[in-house]
Amino acid sequence: MSISEIASTLQLTPVVAGSTVVSAALFEELLRGVNGVRGLAGWAPLTWSTILSPNDPLPAPGQIVLARHLLALRTRLNEAMQSLGAPAGSYTDADVQGLVIQASYITEIQNRLK
């Protein structure tokens, strides 16, 4: 199985700037994708509590999704891709602390899962 085959089994929500709500459910989709790539590398799946600091809130319905959630996904996806010899590349706005999460940040991760 390849990264693109993992993406075909995921049902990623299309993200449209200005209309898609950044939600915990959307981030759960991304975490499943990251875990799919980790599985290709032979690594165990992750949970939010294993990729966030103990004091960080977990993404949850009705709660604000934070930059640290996005950064945790990016980091773990990059690790898995690099272990497979796939280029990780850079992200728009590498440091998103204090920024509003934009649709482009999410589509960057979704595109890496394709």
Digit-coded pLDDT (tens) for 4-42: 666 567 788 999 999 998 999 999 999 999 999 999 999
Return d(Cα 81, Cα 49) in angstroms, integer: 21
pLDDT confidence of residue 113: 86
Q: How confident is the model at residue 82 (pLDDT cuts 50, 70, 90)?
A: very high
Q: Residue 94: which domain range?
A: 3-112
Q: How many domains does the chain divide into?
A: 1
In this structure, which amino acid lies at residue 113?
L
Return d(Cα 86, Cα 55) in angstroms, integer: 32
Give the pTM: 0.91
Q: What is the pLDDT of residues 96-105, one digit of tens each?
A: 988 889 999 9
